[in-house]
Amino acid sequence: MSTSFSAHLPRRALGSTGLEVSCLGLGTVKFGRNQGVKYPQSFQLPDDARVREVLALCRDAGMNLIDTAPAYGSSEERLGALLTQRQDWVICSKVGEEFTDGVSHFDFTAGHVRRSVERSLRRLRTDYLDLVLIHSDGDDEAILRRGECVEALQRCREAGLVRAIGMSTKTVAGGLLALAHTDVVMVTLNPASTDVLPVIAQAHAQHKGVLIKKALNSGHGDVESSLEFIFRQDGVSAVIIGSITPAHLRDNIEAAVRASGGR
């Protein structure tokens, strides 16, 4: 199978972090977890050969953004073993959510945040993470107002372990508050879910980075029309979409190139 693409994914500034990311990033929950996930069909975790093929396709298309998390099962460890040329990738991981024995639990204390970051570094076999997001349990405002989690991430950034910090939010109020305390927000946006548009507009005004999750409504939305809608919004840095099938990934990349119009 050829990995040649006629056009590469354009890159955009991730707010004022100094990072540039491809407009489409690879979500990797399916690399390490197939329990408790909201997708139309069940799936088997890909083997190492398949993961390498997917990563090679990403590189060939100019994709440099990879999204993972401790809550994604073995995703971080697999990426650490299979990802090559670390300097070519922008790696985003998370803190706060753990997934063990089929159940999520959350810990936003300073000690856990620091241990989680250090564990992600070991698993990913790197000495820095480009971006770390708070993996919200849904009570965004309470997490941010307590301050402990953000302050711990700020200390990790000061220590050079993390280049930028942010929050994967679940509420509009939480997204707006996160903009006041962090560099990047990750929000849900697709044609069927548009309540975060004020967050994106505010992020654009403040030169903060915006990552989009659930762009395809967890597999229920049309790829091209969804991406066209999202890329029309000023301030969007990148869309995160997961894929473990090369043909599916290729279709998503080509749709993103068309939908972004090279901008």
Which is it for strands 162-168 and 20-22: parallel, antiparallel or unpaired? unpaired
What is the C-alpha separation between 30 and 101, in angstroms, rounded? Answer: 17
Encoding tokens for residue 38? 């909201």
Question: Which of 72, 89, 99, 231 is an active site residue?
Answer: 72
Let me know: does 192 contact 215? Beta carbons within 8 Å. Answer: no
Closest CA to 136 of 152, 156, 151, 150: 150
39 classed as catalytic: no
- Residue 210 sits at the vertex; the CA angle it makes with 79 and 62, to the nearest 5 degrees, is 50
Let me know: does 94 contact 132? Beta carbons within 8 Å. Answer: yes
Catalytic residues: 72
